């Protein structure tokens, strides 16, 4: 029985039509083997967050591949879109400064949570990012992973199967929500979820969600690119560029 998903109390597949809940309760990690649908799920999550105006949701995109997150470059929600290493280091420093500002404000107000907008830091490939400059970026991400949740600075990261050699445990442990797509082995499944099972998933279309409620087998929603572009165009036209500047 240990080889079956049911031994970990994962219920039958549930259809997930709104990804916003995945991003509502802290940092989100999406992981799986190449071609398993990580970008599909990531874009569906961003699309869902874009129900909100820039007053409630803001983005900082780190896109080392130049093209994965390009649709969102000109949104009024987008504070930064980085494709180069030094840009990324500067951006993460700015996010840490913003975290400190928010904590100071919370202290002045006597509050334990931040009332303002959520800043989502979206990383297309976390392992690749860490390998570009491991020491600097590792320290920056550790601070954000540890302290970001209460002040609404949240990470949304994609990666292939994370291991301790590329992504330190004290970063992975702070991802309160994780989605594992198809993996190549039980070892890789454990790296993401701390249980095996993701290696038994179909190659496309399904995942295992881990959050505060336990484990749930889910169907990954496919948001057509035309719908994503339509929503982006709405916001770009709704808030003229002159006002944004």
Does 124 reside within a domain?
A: yes
Does 200 reside within a domain?
A: yes
CA distance 120 to 193: 22
Task: Flag the least confident range among 33-37, 75-79, 99-103, 130-134.
Answer: 130-134
Strands (E), 44-165: 57-62, 78-82, 118-123, 153-159
More confident residue, 27 or 8: 27
Q: Which two tokens stand for residue 243?
A: 């006002």
What is the H or E stretch that residue 190 is in? Answer: helix 186-193
Does 90 reside within a domain?
A: yes
**132 pLDDT exceeds 60?**
yes
Q: What is the pLDDT of residues 205-224, one digit of tens each?
A: 889 999 888 898 888 888 88
Does 236 reside within a domain?
A: no
Of 39, 49, 59, residue with least CA distance to 18:
49
Q: What percent of the chain shows pLDDT beyond 70?
A: 90
CA distance 236 to 43: 17
Q: What is the pLDDT of residues 150-205, one digit of tens each?
A: 999 999 999 987 777 778 888 888 999 999 999 988 988 988 998 999 999 988 88
User: At residue 238, what are phi and psi to the nearest 5 degrees?
Assistant: -70, -35
Does 241 reside within a domain?
A: no
Domain of 130?
A: 7-223
SS3 of 173, please?
A: coil
Q: At what angle do helices 85-109 and 134-147 cross, to 10 degrees?
A: 30
Does 230 reside within a domain?
A: no
* pTM (2 d.p.): 0.89
Q: What is the mean pLDDT of residues 226-241?
A: 85
pLDDT value at residue 241: 56
CA distance 125 to 140: 16
Q: What is the pLDDT of residues 55-99, one digit of tens each?
A: 999 999 999 888 889 999 999 999 999 999 999 999 999 999 999
Does 51 reside within a domain?
A: yes
Chain mean position to CA 131: 18
Domain of 92, CATH number, reads 3.40.50.300
Domain count, the chain: 1
pLDDT value at residue 18: 56
Instruction: Please check whether residue 103 is in contact with residue 151, taking contact to mean a CB–CB distance below 8 angstroms.
Output: yes
Does 41 reside within a domain?
A: yes
């Amino acid at each position: 029985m240990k080889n079956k998903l049911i031994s970990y109390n994962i219920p039958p597949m549930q259809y997930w039509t709104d990804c916003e809940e995945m991003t509502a309760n802290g940092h989100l990690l999406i992981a799986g083997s190449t071609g398993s649908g990580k970008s599909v799920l990531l874009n569906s999550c961003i699309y869902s967050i874009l129900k909100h105006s820039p007053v409630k949701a803001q983005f900082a995109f780190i896109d080392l591949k130049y093209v994965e997150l390009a649709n969102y470059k000109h949104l009024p929600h987008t504070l930064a879109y980085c494709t180069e290493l030094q840009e990324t280091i500067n951006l993460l420093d700015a996010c840490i400064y913003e975290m400190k500002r928010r904590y100071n404000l919370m202290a002045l107000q006597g509050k334990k949570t931040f009332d303002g907008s959520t800043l989502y830091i979206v990383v297309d490939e976390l392992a690749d990012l860490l390998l570009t400059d491991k020491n600097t970026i590792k320290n920056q991400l550790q601070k954000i992973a540890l302290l970001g949740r209460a002040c609404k600075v949240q990470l949304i990261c994609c990666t292939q199967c994370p291991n301790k050699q590329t992504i330190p445990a004290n970063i992975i442990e702070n991802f309160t929500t994780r989605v594992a797509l198809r993996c190549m082995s039980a070892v890789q499944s454990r790296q993401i979820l701390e249980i095996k099972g993701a290696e038994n998933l179909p190659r496309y279309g399904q995942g295992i969600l881990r959050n505060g409620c336990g484990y749930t087998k889910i169907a990954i929603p496919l948001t057509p690119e035309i719908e994503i572009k339509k929503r982006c165009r709405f916001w770009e036209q709704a808030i003229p560029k002159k006002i944004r500047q």
